[in-house]
A and B are shown apart, each in its own frame.
Chain A
Amino acid sequence: MSNAVSALNGKTATGPVTVQELGLTGMVTLRGDFEDEGFAAAVTQLTGLQIPDVRQFQTDGVKTVLWMSPDELLVVLPYAEVNAFVAGMNDALAGSHYLVANVSDARAIFRVSGDYAGEVLGKNAPVDFEASQFVAGMVRRSRVGQVAAAYWKLDDGSFRVVCFRSVAEYVFGLMATSAKAGAVGVY
């Protein structure tokens, strides 16, 4: 649908640490029993990735599977592939107990990158973002300021931040303000 827009339509604050809303991004919530072979097989079949360990994620650079809770995964993938993915999941899991929901439009996703990206996030979340503590491959759900958020860190040192769509402007504003305020100089 040509009129579709993400929460902030790719808004970016550029600087030593850059905060960028990533535009339309596919996101799917998957709930099921991780121990169930059928569920695990369906995840691997449709993503090519294994179910990640607790508070970890798996990625092939295009699709990412994130551990959200003991019975919930978040799959991040290209926006155009979401409907097919959801349909494929429904086919693969038909008859079993599971839930799949397209949440692409319910969320906003940001990339936070640059020298002191971890410190920028550390200004607004009660989370240890020090490089040796928050390593690539890790996921952490917490808050950003006063709203819920999930964080994960990629191999290139950049972070992804996901929040609800309705508060995208608040979250962007908070992170951009923190980035502009400069480094703390400790990690």
Chain B
Amino acid sequence: MSTRLANSGRLIDRSKPVEFKFNGKRFKGYEGDTLASALFANDQMMVGRSFKYHRPRGVVASGAEEPNALFNMGEGGRFEPNQRATTQEVFDGLTIRSQNHWPSLEFDIGAVNQLFARWLPAGFYYKMFIHPRPFWKHVYEPFIRQSAGLGQVPQEKDADTYEHFYYFCDVLVVGGGIAGLAAALKEGQAGKKVLLLEQTADFGGRAVVDGVEIDGKSAEAWVQETLAALNAMPNVTVRNRNMASGVYDHGYVLGYERLTDHLSDKSGPRHRLWRIRAGHIITATGAIERPLSFAGNDIPGVLLAAAVRDYVVNWGVSVGDRTVVVTNNDDAYRTAIVLKNAGLAVPAIIDARASGAGPIAAEAEKLGIRVLKGKAIAKVKGKTRVTGVKVCLQAGEGSVIEEIACDCVAMSGGWSPVVHLWSHCGGKLNWDEDLAMFRPDPSRAPTGADGKAFVSTVGSASGYLSTADVLKDAGLEVATNEVAAAPLEPVWLMPQGAGPKLRMKAWLDYQNDVKVSDVQLAAREGYESVEHTKRYTTLGMATDQGKLSNINGLAILSKSLDASIPNVGTTTFRPPYTPISLGAITGAARDELFQPIHKTPMFDWHDANGADWEPVGHWRRTYAYVRNGESVHDAVNREILNVRENVGTLDASTLGKIIVKGPDAGKFLDMLYTNMMSNLGVGKCRYGLMCNENGFLSDDGVVVRLAEDTWLCHTTTGGADRIHGWMEDWLQCEWWDWKVYTANVTEQFAQIAVAGPKARLLLEKLGGNMDLSKEGFPFMTYVEGKLGEFDARIFRISFSGELSYEVSVPASQGAALWAALQEAGKDLGVMPYGTEAMHILRAEKGFIMIGDETDGTIIPQDLNLQWAISKKKEDYLGKRAQERSFMASPDRWKLVGLETLDGSVIPDGSYVPAPGYNPNGQRNVQGRVTSTYYSPTLKRGIAMGLVKHGPDRMGEVIEFNREDGTMVKAKIVDPVFYDKDGEKQNV
């Protein structure tokens, strides 16, 4: 029976009872309980089933290292699987359900798996791949599906909120045990800005549980005094329930703060992810006790020795009435003494060491506890809970000497420093033979930006186990009441000569069901690398990441390989230390805040008028304005015809606008564009192409000369930042003596294209002081002045082939101008048009589009744009690249227009097959489509494409493939489908 004791329990408040639900049953606990302690108080020994064999599992540990006690927690929007009972505090209304069983925890069908354990050995998952396909479908896959995963996947949207927080400090101390407190005090007193993080709710670590006296006062009193001193320092910040989950380059650390997980009141952020930048990191992360490997060490009721004592001292619960302690070191004797002093029975301490313990043995014997030296557990008795142990000689093969009835086994195989944070950024370890542990090697610490160590360890994390040594390591010489301990004796298998039957029941990894026999099998099958063995056996790959199992597994492997433990090495420690929530990683970035959507000043109007949105870069642009009863396709066709017949307005505000100014600006733009820009007249516009140094097209747009030394460069939507950065790169890093300034003014202006035969009429209706006549305002020029009451700069440029103006006003006036145009244009039939109409209008005119006709491998010459490449210039970015033989080859695919014979639309992405196959066995090709649309103007499918020798093949009919395997015939034609002479735009 596990039960609540009448007294003790330093962390629980017996005046504050709470009620929670476990598998639908009401349980009682106290404030300060963890879920694990509260379950013990309610005699709930069995907490789940293992991953592979579905064996009954109980709580093993009392902290973050717990591998078994994982639960589905919460309901609905607060449901979350795999929550650890040992670190979850109980609160009123908490609901949990056990996982990995069906139909119930007590009666689980999956448990039959253990009958087939022989056929589920190490490497099971690997070996399955060798078997024929039918096995997969009918045997393995159903099995894996059924047993995959531990908890359930949440079905509802997370009801909680999360946030990030950036923090900067000189020293980060991780761990609020006595080592961490002492280290923080020392650094704080030295005037450093210190942050101390403790992952649990309270401070003091093991020292307060073990009741050590420090300089004559209790550890508890010492801890409270030190905490008070730290809290009084303005340069020290102390946070509990905040786990340092990972250490990263240059002193970056993530702290996982749990704000409401322990409260009934869930208001406010649930978790806060601290993004800490520390000058130095001191890990005072303590040590974790190791299990011993003996048959039946996974039966509920077998716990770590220190955990058994934690449950008594911290939470006032006993795991059992009769506890057998089994150990290879002195520390576990403390558990026996604590239990005995709490009025519980300890039938025996089974000490594997022939010489036994130090002075503490006498203390235990004085309390009437029987100490068996050189003995071991041959086997634990019991199925769903411990009923007794069979004792044997540690030196032997497991012949049973006697049986002892008990309901709890407290085991200790020694201690392993928690070196995770030390190791995350490359801190190296040394194997300490005497203590049988990996200890951080201070001479091989992780190094930072200055080349010096930026992580150090203190206390048990350094491998010091006594309170006096721990504090000495933290720089404090103190006197304690501790007695000298006898040396530990490494015990990796109990008994040391255990045969196959016992080894098959000696568990290393509880959650993943990896046994001693599995690791030995892996070694026999040739797995010598510890990293390979880990993956082959799944040792240490469960959600606890092998906190209890790794060292034991390593020792078994090294023995099987006849190699020393340091030669076998450890697996890599990777963040997070324990799993952190996805919500914490996401922070506030969800829903509207998931990604910044860039909105133009007219966004709200579009949204209210049927906008079908299209993401273009980070912008949202209107694809089409869909009216009632209309399909998107209908809307696009209507918008196009209206531009051709009346007038349309397009929100072109997203086009990049960059000012380039200075005495050398013309020279600079001549380098950036393939065309000449220095000779552009003031007041004039010119279409320009930009290439990268590979010669490939990277951007295009209209360049405007605003003044003698000032140009305005338009870029593609979404290209503004990139092209501005590109300009600054060349100005700062290559031509830094050229006198040129740039400014990205993209968002200063709202820009509206007004296109169609009635465009001039519409603008004239608004009035103002500008001459918009054909003669007064010729094509490819601009004017500035008042358009009605708006401060406008108007460019007479056309991307649609129609009479067209692009009106630019300060962004603050954009929404008003847009509304004014719609109002004034009512009787002219004005309609807004979206990006799809814009695309088709330009395709009808044979205008190329960056990203459609180009894909990062296309040079201007491929698109017959030689007219936009200056022959007068000695150099421009990309010119040398375009001289390369491959770029100059006549065999490059070139742009042509395509007209289907049957009027249908060539599917996007279609290719023109050519005879034969390439060396990869793929069909040869001789061309592909780049833009393909239904043209409502021409009432047929039109397309542009790149075709080998295309311009020389005018009139030839070629075939494009469709996805269904059929072909569509198209004639090669001039890419200008509409108004070939450009009469429409020049009226």
Contacts and interface: CB of A to CB of B under 8 A. Distances in A.
B599 A126 contact: no
A123 B164 contact: yes
Contacts of B817: 3
Contacts of B268: 181-182
A173 interface: yes
Interface string B741-754: 11101111100000
A161 to B, nearest CB: 14
A86 B748 CA distance: 14
A126 B166 contact: yes
Given A122-B165, A170-B593, A181-B163, A101 B745 contact: yes
A112 to B, nearest CB: 15
B519 to A, nearest CB: 44
Interface string A103-134: 11111000000000001001111111010010
Contact of A103 (B163, B587, B745, B790): B745
Given A106-B745, A124-B588, A145 B593 contact: yes
B123 interface: no
Contacts of A174: 588, 593
A85 interface: no
A177 B593 contact: yes
Contact of B815 (A5, A145, A147, A186): A5
A97 B811 contact: no
A29 interface: yes
A101 B659 contact: yes
A153 B812 CA distance: 26
A167 B596 contact: yes
Given A106-B748, A181-B163, A31 B743 contact: yes
Contact of B811 (A31, A101, A105): A105
Given A106-B748, A184-B272, A29 B743 contact: yes
B661 interface: yes
A64 to B, nearest CB: 19
B813 A4 contact: yes
A98 B739 CA distance: 9
B907 to A, nearest CB: 35
B741 A97 contact: yes
Given A5-B815, A106-B811, A145 B598 contact: no
Contacts of A1: 789-791, 810, 812-813, 816
Nearest to B810: A105
B112 interface: no
B167 interface: yes
Nearest to B707: A90
Contacts of A55: none
B912 to A, nearest CB: 41
A81 interface: no
Interface string B811-837: 111011100000000000000000000
Contacts of B811: 105-106, 165
A59 B476 CA distance: 51
Contacts, number: 135
B747 A105 contact: yes
Interface in B539-591: 587-589
Contact of A186 (B237, B269, B598, B601): B237
Contacts of B272: 184
A119 B165 contact: yes
Interface in A126-174: 126-128, 130, 133, 145-147, 164-167, 169-171, 173-174
Nearest to A142: B166
Given A31-B741, A170-B593, A106 B791 contact: no
A12 interface: no
B600 A166 contact: yes
A53 to B, nearest CB: 21
Nearest to B816: A3
Given A1-B789, A124-B588, A101 B813 contact: no
A15 B165 CA distance: 19
B619 A4 contact: no
A123 B166 contact: yes
Interface residues of A, number: 50
A123 to B, nearest CB: 5
A178 B167 CA distance: 15
A114 to B, nearest CB: 17
Interface string A61-77: 00000000001000000
- In this complex, the member of A1, A98, A102, A104 whose beta carbon has the largest number of chain B beta carbons within 10 angstroms is A1
B969 interface: no
B920 interface: no
B745 A178 contact: no
B607 to A, nearest CB: 12
Contacts of B142: none
Nearest to B748: A106
B932 to A, nearest CB: 31
A54 interface: no
B885 to A, nearest CB: 42
A130 B167 CA distance: 9
A6 interface: yes
B401 to A, nearest CB: 60
A122 B588 contact: no
Contact of B741 (A5, A98, A130, A170): A98
B789 A146 contact: no
A167 B600 CA distance: 9
A87 interface: no
A24 B812 contact: yes
A124 B588 CA distance: 9
B168 interface: yes
B834 to A, nearest CB: 18
Contacts of B595: 146
B475 interface: no
Contact of B166 (A99, A101, A127): A127
B599 to A, nearest CB: 5
A20 B743 CA distance: 27
Nearest to B239: A186
Nearest to A133: B168
B748 A102 contact: yes
Nearest to A164: B747
Contacts of B161: 177, 181
A99 B741 contact: yes
Contacts of A186: 167, 237
A184 B239 CA distance: 10
B318 to A, nearest CB: 38
Contacts of A32: 741
B164 A124 contact: yes
Contact of A2 (B601, B661, B789): B789
Contacts of A145: 588-589, 593, 596
B147 to A, nearest CB: 40
Contacts of A124: 164, 588
A171 B790 CA distance: 29
Interface string B232-271: 0000010000000000000000000000000000001100
A181 B587 CA distance: 12
B663 interface: yes
B888 interface: no
B663 A128 contact: no
A31 B589 CA distance: 35
B662 interface: yes
Nearest to A163: B596
A29 B661 CA distance: 13
A48 B745 CA distance: 26
29 contacts: A24-B812, A97-B662, A99-B659, A99-B661, A99-B741, A104-B748, A104-B812, A105-B748, A105-B749, A107-B747, A122-B166, A123-B588, A126-B275, A130-B168, A145-B596, A146-B596, A147-B596, A165-B601, A166-B599, A166-B747, A167-B598, A169-B592, A170-B593, A173-B592, A177-B161, A181-B161, A181-B163, A181-B588, A182-B268
Given A1-B813, A170-B597, A182-B268, 9 more contacts: A4-B810, A104-B748, A106-B747, A122-B166, A128-B166, A145-B596, A167-B596, A186-B167, A186-B237
Please list the 6 inter-chain residue pairs (A to B) with the smallest Cβ-Cβ separation, ordered nearest first: A3-B816, A99-B741, A4-B812, A105-B811, A106-B748, A166-B598
